[in-house]
Amino acid sequence: MVLALAGSLVHAGVGLQPTLNPAGWPQLRRFLAAAVEPAASPEFLRLTWEATLTTLAYAVLGTAMALGIGVVAGVVISETWWRRPPSGRSRRRGRVGEVGGWLASRLVVGLPRGVHEAVWGLFLVSILGLDPLVGVLAIGIPYGAVTAKVYAELLDEAPRGPFEALRSAGVGRVRALTYALAPLAFPDLLSYAFYRFECAIRGAAILGIIGAGGLGFQLALSFQSLRYDEMWTLIYALVAVCGLADWWSTTLRRRSALPTRTIAGLPAEREGHDSVVAIRPSLRRDRRLHASAVVAVALVVVSVWHLGIDVSTLWAPRAQRLASEIATSSLPPDLGAANLARLAALGVQTLEMSVIAAVAACVAGMVAAFAVAGGSDGSRPAGALRQVGAIGARGLLLVARAVPPPVGALLLLFVLLPGPLPGALALALYNAGILGRLMAEVVENLDPGPLGALRSQGASPGQGFVYATLPRTLPRFAAFGLYRWEVTIRETVVVGLVGAGGLGRLLGQQLAAFDYRGVTATVAALVVLTFAVDVVSAAVRRSLR
Amino acid sequence: MSGTDRLDVLEARTSPLRPRTARTGTSTPRPRTTVAPRRPRRRPVLVSVLVAVVVVLGGCGSADEATSGGGARNPVAPAGDQVFTIGAIPDQDPEKLQRLYGTVADYLSEELGVTVDYEPVTDYAASVSLFRAGDLDMVWFGGLTGVQARLQVDGAEAILQRGIDERFHSVFIANTATGLQPIDDLAGLAQLEGRRFTFGSESSTSGRLMPEHFLRQAGVSPETDFAGPPGFSGSHDKTIELVAAGTFEAGVVNEQVWNSRRDAGEVDPGKVTAIFRTPPYHDYHWVIRPDVAERFGDDFVDRVKAAFTGLDRSDPTEAEILELFGADEFIQTDNGNYAEIEEVAGDLGLIAR
């Protein structure tokens, strides 16, 4: 890992050639100064309000679709589903069927996952035209695939005893799953659903840049002519909506005593499962949960109506005609030797960007997480200074993940020289916002016992941190970081679109030239890369557990 | 800056894929109480806030629906629905035109006697796709994107341009600290070799296509001869800022944007300076789909032309439209004017041949 990082940094030119451009500081400062003077004319505020509702509606429907796909496909791609009952027939044939079926289904969901939602958006626009469904599908399809993968892992992680008992007794797969597995995994599935929702809000904002409306669209417009005051108003709106979603999820999880261990889809800790079983009865009676379910359904209905969704466009003759036109112009992909060599070289660059981004995001996220948790942790009340620090860090994290990576890339480009580094660091900043929040939750949920024991033995705060806090959080942090590494591969596309290098830059040029065969090949390369990173990071995560 | 003080007439319509209920700019959220669903008492704060969100979301939608007139267009409208849909990707102050487009749609509706829908789009590739799909009947394209769009739609026609588009120019700019000097002829562009250089958007005629053509004429091959690959900043304003910051030592922008920013005092002459004005070429123009004649009548294209060429500065609304497009006047054009662009685009691999 360290070697990969060092290699990436050296290749990106760090330390070998100048990377800083201090002369660009006034440009960056103008953007930062506008933070305290956002555009606030009544007209612009009304525009922001309406854009916020549209973004929210896209996020709600995109999440709903993702969860629908996630539940169905997640079951089908789980190892548990493919496992034969213990008393199965011919053992060897069964084993081949198990592994084969599981791998094939894995590949099927790997495909939509490797393609960024912005690319999905462009593809869908050329088939469906001006239709709000484009925005919903562009979020729903890739997020559905991610959700399916995570749900499959959660199901596989849930205690399998009751399920296998039912299966051995001859109960069908679907029923055994419904009665024995799903209830055990439910809290984790729910908390991940909320995490996805917050991601979908940000996803809808990035989609706006290709024309899916709402805050992202307005942000793209103001960004084109660098109206920083307008950009800040829109960013604050995004922060508010994300904050609201976060608050809904936290409230629900805390008050319903749902565990918060599986944010970002990481498997639950083993010892936690007793408590999952223990809270089962209270789940049933929880009114907040019921009320939230009602609200969620209402939000979906209202969003369908607000956006004017009409699914019949999907099978309209025109969509079929355009889809077949796109298929003929984009297949077969351009796989000539020259193009393959180019894809390999740029793929390495993309990989390097993703490594730098993931590691930097991890480090920054960790620092922020301890700052955030510093306001509330430990047995004694935190000092005023630490509380202020905690609030500040929380706010910074919120803003960091609300600034779309293309915007971040341009800002960094003011003070850094061109190359892959500004794009990588823009992704790092964005992902640090996400990771910091997830990591802070880990720190906050830490059992205070060991630290308290050390401190009462006379250990200094520093010693307590090093010997009690760090050892129990670092493996989890590393796991989060590895998970985001795969995501950053896909996201290099959006910073590539602003010229930050790698496969994303090539994709931008191919899209501008309507070189569909080239686009197909580049997208395929990104899918392969995502898949490879997924395999590596899954292996490392397994070894960390 | 005129961009912000004119937001007072801003019509808050949203996006190309915007909700069809959010059609008009005159909507106001309906008072919550009128549509508040029945809800039990003593709910936790959480639930009441969420309910309020639902209600407001719904309230807005319904208010929009109530006030939206004939302008509302069903995205899957039957063939008989006569709505003329237009879109534009302006290079200069996109946020102004895209947020004030109601003015343009209303004017054309009145002039043409048909419902006109303006769909704001920010992405070149998306707007070409929409033109090809038939969801946009007429689009304000750049030189290159217009050619790309016509190649994808048989019979599409370039009909109108602004006065300045007949002889459009790009301006090469440089950071003053580089010591790059103004040059008089194309060959002088060779001094940019070995410098950090940025174009604008990949699809831009004035920020990429023609400058790349002129650079090649001067013997500079962009992919190999600069210090590192050239940047694609994404817009002319970003190019100016990045060159002013010194991130890139030189860049190239649309002359109209450059002049407007310089005249508005937004460019620091101590940091960034113009070094070369390119030879002229054709740029922006309206391209119209061939099927409008059968849908709106044989003389429809002529009526569209008349609506634009007849824009009169003495009328406040019409003057505003001219200003939104950064136009002195609109004049006719035809496909033949873009033969050079097409040839250059072919040379640079930006269109399939």
Tell me whether residues A302 and B148 touch, CB distance under 8 A.
Answer: no
How close is the nearest chain A Cα to the Cα of B12, in Å? 5
Looking at per-residue confidence, does B178 or B121 come out higher?
B178
Residue A161: count of CB within 10 angstroms of its CB = 10
Is a pLDDT exceeding 90 seen at residue A494? no
**CB of A66 closer than 8 Å to CB of A199:** no
**CB of B294 closer than 8 Å to CB of B149:** no
Query: A543 in contact with B at a CB cutoff of 8 Å?
Result: no
How close is the nearest chain A Cα to the Cα of B239, in Å? 10
Per-residue confidence (pLDDT) for residue A6, from 0 to 100: 66
ipTM of the complex: 0.80
Query: A54 in contact with B at a CB cutoff of 8 Å?
Result: yes
Tell which residue, A325, A322, A331, has the closest CA to residue A131.
A322
**CB of A495 closer than 8 Å to CB of A409:** yes
Tell me whether residues A302 and B57 touch, CB distance under 8 A.
Answer: yes
How close is the nearest chain B Cα to the Cα of A455, in Å? 38
Per-residue confidence (pLDDT) for residue A278, from 0 to 100: 40
Residue A398: count of CB within 10 angstroms of its CB = 20
pLDDT mean over A464-473: 75
Per the structure, the count of domains in chain B is: 3
Tell me the two tokens of residue A131: 């239709």
Q: Which chain B residue is nearest to residue A27, measuring alpha carbons?
A: B245
**Cα of B37 vs its chain's centroid, Å:** 42
Query: A5 in contact with B at a CB cutoff of 8 Å?
Result: no
Measure the CA–CA gap between B203 and B205, rounded to whole angstroms. Answer: 6
Tell me whether residues A54 and B14 touch, CB distance under 8 A.
Answer: yes
| Residue pointed to by tokens 């790349």 | B212
Tell which residue, B316, B195, B334, B305, has the closest CA to residue B252.
B195
Average pLDDT, chain A: 77
Tell me whether residues A43 and B61 touch, CB distance under 8 A.
Answer: no
Is B353 part of a structural domain of the chain?
no
Per-residue confidence (pLDDT) for residue B11, from 0 to 100: 32
Chain B interface test: which of A29, A130, A139, A326 (most B C-beta within 10 Å) = A130
Say if strands B115-120 and B330-332 run parallel, antiparallel, or are unpaired.
unpaired
Residues B181 and B221 grouped into a single domain: yes
**Cα of B332 vs its chain's centroid, Å:** 19
Lowest-pLDDT range of A192-201, B62-71, B270-279, B315-324: B62-71
Tell which residue, B89, B74, B103, B78, has the closest CA to residue B13.
B103
Lowest-pLDDT range of A10-14, A88-92, A426-430, B84-88: A88-92
Residues B97 and B246 grouped into a single domain: no
Measure the CA–CA gap between B219 and B213, rounded to whole angstroms. Answer: 10
Q: How would residue A323 be classed by pLDDT, with cut points 50, 70 and 90?
A: confident
Looking at per-residue confidence, does A329 or B26 come out higher?
A329
- Residues in chain B within 8 Å Cβ distance of A57: 19, 57
Task: Give B281's DSSP letter.
Answer: B
Supply the angle between the helices A182-207 and A214-224 in degrees, to the nearest 10.
30
Q: Which of A124-128, B26-30, B168-172 has maximum average pLDDT?
A: B168-172
Q: Which chain A residue is nearest to residue B1, measuring alpha carbons?
A: A227
Per-residue confidence (pLDDT) for residue B172, from 0 to 100: 95
Query: Chains A and B: how many Cβ contacts under 8 Å?
Result: 259
Is B256 part of a structural domain of the chain?
yes
Query: A243 in contact with B at a CB cutoff of 8 Å?
Result: no
- Looking at chain A, the whole-number percentage of residues with pLDDT higher than 90 is 2
Q: Which of B243, B277, B311 is the last residue of a domain?
A: B277
pLDDT mean over B28-42: 34
Give the CATH number for residue B91: 3.40.190.10
How close is the nearest chain B Cα to the Cα of A28, in Å? 9
Is B37 part of a structural domain of the chain?
yes
Tell me whether residues A414 and B241 touch, CB distance under 8 A.
Answer: yes
Q: Which of B13, B41, B67 is the last residue of a domain?
A: B67
Measure the CA–CA gap between B233 and B240, rounded to whole angstroms. Answer: 9
Residues B188 and B220 grouped into a single domain: yes
How close is the nearest chain A Cα to the Cα of B275, in Å? 21
**CB of B20 closer than 8 Å to CB of A130:** no
Is a pLDDT exceeding 60 seen at residue B66? no
Is B347 part of a structural domain of the chain?
no
Tell me the two tokens of residue A130: 């001006």
**CB of A415 closer than 8 Å to CB of A28:** yes
- Residues in chain A within 8 Å Cβ distance of B234: 224, 406, 410, 497-499
Residues B42 and B89 grouped into a single domain: no
Query: A499 in contact with B at a CB cutoff of 8 Å?
Result: yes
**From edge to edge, which strands make up the β-sheet containing B138-141?**
B115-120, B83-88, B138-141, B285-288, B157-162, B330-332
Per-residue confidence (pLDDT) for residue B39, from 0 to 100: 35
A295, A312, A313 ranked by CB distance to B50: nearest: A295
Query: A324 in contact with B at a CB cutoff of 8 Å?
Result: no
Q: How would residue B279 be classed by pLDDT, with cut points 50, 70 and 90?
A: very high
Residues B176 and B249 grouped into a single domain: yes
Is B77 part of a structural domain of the chain?
no
Chain B interface test: which of A27, A41, A44, A50 (most B C-beta within 10 Å) = A50
| Residue pointed to by tokens 């639930």 | B47
Strands (E), A289-394: none
Is a pLDDT exceeding 50 seen at residue B43? no
Cα three-residue angle A131-A132-A135, rounded to 5 degrees: 115
How close is the nearest chain B Cα to the Cα of A25, in Å? 7
Measure the CA–CA gap between B208 and A192, rounded to whole angstroms. Answer: 44
Is a pLDDT exceeding 60 seen at residue B3? no
Measure the CA–CA gap between A507 and A492, rounded to whole angstroms. Answer: 11
The full DSSP string for B132-174 is HHTS-SEEEE-HHHHHHHHHHSTT-EEEEEEGGGGGB-EEEEE
Is B100 part of a structural domain of the chain?
yes
Q: How would residue B67 be classed by pLDDT, with cut points 50, 70 and 90?
A: very low
Tell me whether residues A305 and B61 touch, CB distance under 8 A.
Answer: yes
User: What domain range is B176 assigned to?
Assistant: 169-277
- Residues in chain B within 8 Å Cβ distance of A24: 242, 245-247
pLDDT mean over A67-77: 85
Looking at per-residue confidence, does A331 or B41 come out higher?
A331
Tell which residue, A403, A293, A302, has the closest CA to residue A53.
A302
Tell me the two tokens of residue A335: 């796989």
Amino acid at A450: P
Tell which residue, A76, A203, A206, has the closest CA to residue A143.
A203
Tell me whether residues B15 and A217 touch, CB distance under 8 A.
Answer: yes
Chain B interface test: which of A27, A30, A45, A53 (most B C-beta within 10 Å) = A53
Looking at per-residue confidence, does A521 or A99 come out higher?
A521
Q: How would residue B275 be classed by pLDDT, with cut points 50, 70 and 90?
A: very high
Is the sign of the CA dihedral A20, A25, A29, A31 positive or negative? negative
Residues B91 and B239 grouped into a single domain: no
Length of chain A: 545
Say if strands B272-277 and B115-120 run parallel, antiparallel, or are unpaired.
unpaired
The structural domains of chain A, ordered by start, are: 38-322 (1.10.3720.10), 331-544 (1.10.3720.10)
Measure the CA–CA gap between A514 and B151, rounded to whole angstroms. Answer: 11
Is a pLDDT exceeding 80 seen at residue B139? yes
Tell me whether residues B125 and A122 touch, CB distance under 8 A.
Answer: yes
Residues B335 and B300 grouped into a single domain: yes
Tell me whether residues A413 and B242 touch, CB distance under 8 A.
Answer: yes
Q: Which of B250, B277, B304 is the last residue of a domain?
A: B277
How close is the nearest chain A Cα to the Cα of B47, in Å? 7
Is a pLDDT exceeding 80 seen at residue B55? no
Q: Which chain B residue is nearest to residue A299, measuring alpha carbons?
A: B54
Tell which residue, B118, B16, B280, B188, has the closest CA to residue A132.
B16
Quick one: how many helices (H) and strands (E) in chain B? 15, 11
Calculated CA dihedral for residues A21, A23, A24, A25, nearest 10 degrees: 110
3-state secondary structure at position B268: coil
Q: Which chain B residue is nearest to residue A249, measuring alpha carbons?
A: B46
Residues B147 and B288 grouped into a single domain: yes
Measure the CA–CA gap between A258 and A256, rounded to whole angstroms. Answer: 5
Residues B14 and B147 grouped into a single domain: no
Tell me whether residues B135 and A130 touch, CB distance under 8 A.
Answer: yes
Residues B185 and B319 grouped into a single domain: no
- Residues in chain A within 8 Å Cβ distance of B349: 513, 515
Q: What is the pLDDT of residues B286-340, one digit of tens each?
A: 999 998 888 888 888 898 999 889 888 898 888 888 888 888 888 989 888 899 8
- Residues in chain A within 8 Å Cβ distance of B16: 130, 211, 213
**CB of B275 closer than 8 Å to CB of B144:** no
Measure the CA–CA gap between B67 and B71, rounded to whole angstroms. Answer: 10
pLDDT mean over B229-251: 90
Contacts of A317 (CB under 8 A, 6+ apart): none
Measure the CA–CA gap between A20 and A520, rounded to whole angstroms. Answer: 35
**CB of B101 closer than 8 Å to CB of B13:** yes
Contacts of A384 (CB under 8 A, 6+ apart): none
Q: What is the pLDDT of residues B289-298, one digit of tens each?
A: 998 888 888 8
Is B153 part of a structural domain of the chain?
yes
Distance (Å) of CA A156 to CA A77, A152, B317: 10, 6, 65
Tell me whether residues B125 and A514 touch, CB distance under 8 A.
Answer: yes
Is B7 part of a structural domain of the chain?
yes
Per-residue confidence (pLDDT) for residue B273, from 0 to 100: 92
Residues forming beta bridges with residue B162, ordered by sequence position = B330
Query: A129 in contact with B at a CB cutoff of 8 Å?
Result: yes
Is a pLDDT exceeding 70 seen at residue B78? no
Looking at per-residue confidence, does A90 or B151 come out higher?
B151
Measure the CA–CA gap between B201 and A138, rounded to whole angstroms. Answer: 24
Query: A194 in contact with B at a CB cutoff of 8 Å?
Result: no
Residues B289 and B162 grouped into a single domain: yes
Measure the CA–CA gap between B206 and B251, rounded to whole angstroms. Answer: 12
- Looking at chain A, the whole-number percentage of residues with pLDDT higher than 70 is 82
Per-residue confidence (pLDDT) for residue A499, from 0 to 100: 52
Residues 17-46 of A with CB under 8 A from B: 21, 23-24, 26-27, 39, 41, 43-44, 46
Q: What is the pLDDT of residues A376-430, one digit of tens each?
A: 544 455 577 777 877 888 888 888 888 888 888 888 888 888 877 888 888 899 9
Is a pLDDT exceeding 70 seen at residue A97? no
Measure the CA–CA gap between A128 and A257, rounded to whole angstroms. Answer: 43
Residues B90 and B127 grouped into a single domain: yes
Q: What is the pLDDT of residues A178-224, one digit of tens each?
A: 888 777 777 777 778 888 888 888 888 777 655 557 888 888 888 88
